[in-house]
Structure 1
Amino acid sequence: MKIITMGEIMLRLSTPGNSRITQSNEFDVVYGGGEANVAVSLANYGHDAYFVTKLPQHEVGQAAVNALRQVGVHTDYITRGGERVGIYFLETGASMRASKVIYDRSHSAIAEASEDDFDFDAIMKDADWFHWSGITPAISDTAAKLVEKACIAAKKNNVTVSVDLNFRKKLWSKEKAQSIMKPLMAYVDVCIGNEEDAELCLGFKPTANVEKGETGAEGYYEIFKEMKETFNFKIVTSTLRESYSANHNGWKALLYDGEKFYQSKRYDIEPIIDRVGGGDSFSGGMIHGLLTKESKQEALEFAVAASALKHTIPGDFNLVSEAEVEALCQGDTTGRVQR
């Protein structure tokens, strides 16, 4: 199936191991970013996954393109131009010390891209799904306009649209987020986002403290119902993270389709190798599950298993196969060597 994602792919500079930025003399280099990570997951599951962005012509831009090509993502719709690739620095936490992200992404190529850089009708032709996240409209006003144009083209071509709300307080305020995100919800069929995202992006009052890891499924029921009724979503879904420490999380998910609430099995993840991209891997697994599984419960189980596995893999990309996810869904959590 042809699946489109659009956003920013960045150069990630992470400290080796659990060292702090202030003590590091070198950084590990990988590439990643919300919608790019989703495209990688979908390519791993056998879909024709296309990533839409703008990258400079120089070697760093080419390295980002190559990173996607190496894992099977189609780069046909990547426009070349602009001055820079966005950067983010990652300091991986441990125990009670949280991980930290520092952005250096202002004036990146995609943040300054224009509508003339993309032919969205051609991009959406024969597509089955279009996915974006709240990070993309947050990076610039012009990027927000690109999201709107892409959504319009998707609906014109009868393409299912999903969003991961993904509020980033380092990129915009809740007031700015709501002014942009609420109108864009008119194009969305599948909404992904926890209670914090729902409050900050869409204005729904939370009943649980997400920051403290108070994520009982019951706290989501009323908000999911309100979200669906307000924006006419077909599906609302979210991961539920229980944060015991930087290295130890509980992990499950919830889905609501207007008739029934579905709750996944819970995974105890310890030690966490890299939690960056965990939500993106859930989105990728959910899209695959909704497109290929017979029931919403199966789709949910696939998505949460895929995202649990991502926590064991360094880097932004979830480099797992469909077969590996299915094995975890079936209860294979032993970690035994495969011979």
Structure 2
Amino acid sequence: MMNNKKILSVGELLLRICPGGDWLETNSLPFYVGGAEANVATALALWGLPSAYFTALPDNAMSRELARYLEEKTIETSRILYRGERIGIYYLPKGKDLKNAGVIYDRAHSSFASLKPGSIDWDTVLEDIGWLHFSAISPALNKNAATVCTEMLEAASTKNITISLDLNYRAKLWQYGAAPTEIMPALADHCDLIMGNLWAAEKMLGIPVDQSLVGTDTKKDYLRHAWLTSEQIMENFPKVKYVANTFRFDSGEKGIRYFTTLYNNKTLYTSKEYLSEKILDKVGSGDCFMAGLIYGLSQNHANQDTLEYATAAAYQKLFIPSDATHQRPEEIKQFMTTYER
């Protein structure tokens, strides 16, 4: 689908700080380099695809160190804009989900959140790009960020670039007076691949969850709903060719139950189901799944193979403490063949 062009991930680079334990007594806080799109870019580069990243950072020594950190992971960083005041931060203990009420954002007035419409030369940023990936986190920041996303997608569409969207919903964002359903449908109009879950599709695109269908909490009904939601997305957004859904449910006190779907050409593909009594860190699992989809589809892998790889990679990420994965393709494929419940 890409003709050997680069895959560009666009979004805010963040530092995740993880309070917990005796951090006050030890004067020590673990942190990770993150941001949904940076996590995708990291995985794609690790898996041998030409991965580029666009964000905005203040022009200082810390930003340059972060860029070098990404470059060491073979991510192309030449498109990064160095302007503005600060790097975005969020606080979340290890093991917690970003949808958790405990997440604390410290992103106001960051370089990325301060981007203005008309300030980016998208012809330059999109040069040699065959696939563009972004998430719903960026337009959630403020009105200007949403308009910047619109400019980006319009420019990418004129260049026939494949576009993917992760419907990340963050309740603590979207605080500038616009509901997601007022912003996201127009952005989804440009997309070829949309990934999320049933509830994100409702929050972002206004596609309702049938409570009678999911109230039974059975896999059969969830899969049926995935079919219906995917059909509705494609009806509402004719450019969309693929719809992916993740189903990640807590199991026991610290465990997880995980499976996914991919819809294309009137067919719903379903992944293997994974179960674990305990996981390490939920952050970045969805990003890893998204990267797996891009990895397979950009190389024209079969839909079922693409889905299984993406799902295995995302499940393995639940046992990795950093925001991005460090699992290589051979490790993921080996896991796929040896996993037992």
Query: What root-mean-square deviation, in Å, do the aligned CA atoms of Structure 1 and Structure 2 show?
Result: 2.5
1:291, CA displacement in angstroms?
1.5
Q: Which residue of 2 aligns with 1:189?
A: 192
1:244, CA displacement in angstroms?
1.6
Change in Cα spacing, 1:211 to 1:12, as seen in structure 2 (3 Å) is: farther
Taking the TM superposition and a 5 Å limit, the aligned residue runs for 1:45-64 are 45-64=47-66
Provide Cα deviations, 1:181-225, integer angstroms capped at 9, x if missing partner: 111111011010101110110111113598998763222221111
Taking the TM superposition and a 5 Å limit, the aligned residue runs for 1:75-224 are 75-93=77-95, 100-115=102-117, 117-172=119-174, 176-207=179-210, 216-224=222-230
| Mapped contact 2:94–2:321 kept (Cα < 8 A) | no
Q: Secondary structure at the match of 2:189?
A: helix
Of the candidates 266, 275, 284, which is equivalent to residue 259 of structure 1? Answer: 266
| Mapped contact 2:95–2:280 kept (Cα < 8 A) | no
Paired letter, 1:5: S
Identity of aligned residues (%): 33
Q: Which of 149-158 and 35-44 deviates more?
A: 149-158
The total of aligned residue pairs comes to: 328
Q: Secondary structure at the match of 2:55?
A: strand
Of the candidates 300, 307, 321, which is equivalent to residue 300 of structure 1? Answer: 307
Change in Cα spacing, 1:120 to 1:143, as seen in structure 2 (3 Å) is: same
Change in Cα spacing, 1:248 to 1:21, as seen in structure 2 (3 Å) is: farther
Q: Which residue of 2 aligns with 1:328?
A: 335
Q: Which residue of 2 aligns with 1:44?
A: 46
Provide Cα deviations, 1:151-201, integer angstroms capped at 9, x if missing partner: 112111111000001111100169521111111111011010101110110
Q: Which residue of 2 aligns with 1:317?
A: 324
Which residues of structure 1 form unaligned runs of 5+?
335-339
1:121, CA displacement in angstroms?
1.4
Of the candidates 3, 15, 19, which is equivalent to residue 7 of structure 2? Answer: 3
Q: Secondary structure at the match of 2:304?
A: helix
Of the candidates 221, 231, 236, which is equivalent to residue 237 of structure 2? Answer: 231
1:316, CA displacement in angstroms?
0.5
| Mapped contact 1:79–1:117 kept (Cα < 8 A) | no
Of the candidates 287, 290, 296, which is equivalent to residue 289 of structure 1? Answer: 296
| Mapped contact 2:95–2:279 kept (Cα < 8 A) | no
Paired letter, 2:72: Q
Which residues of structure 2 form unaligned runs of 5+?
none
Cα distance between partner residues in 2 of 1:105 and 1:190? 28
1:310, CA displacement in angstroms?
0.8
Of the candidates 275, 284, 294, which is equivalent to residue 282 of structure 2? Answer: 275
TM-score (norm 1): 0.89
Paired letter, 2:199: E
Cα distance between partner residues in 1 of 2:206 and 2:143? 20
Cα distance between partner residues in 2 of 1:144 and 1:317? 25
Paired letter, 2:126: M
Paired letter, 2:189: A
Provide Cα deviations, 1:58-115, integer angstroms capped at 9, x if missing partner: 2332333233223221111101011111110012358xxx683211111110111234
Paired letter, 1:301: E
1:258, CA displacement in angstroms?
3.4
1:25, CA displacement in angstroms?
4.5
Moved over 4 A (4+): 20-25, 208-215
Change in Cα spacing, 1:8 to 1:204, as seen in structure 2 (3 Å) is: same
Change in Cα spacing, 1:314 to 1:93, as seen in structure 2 (3 Å) is: closer
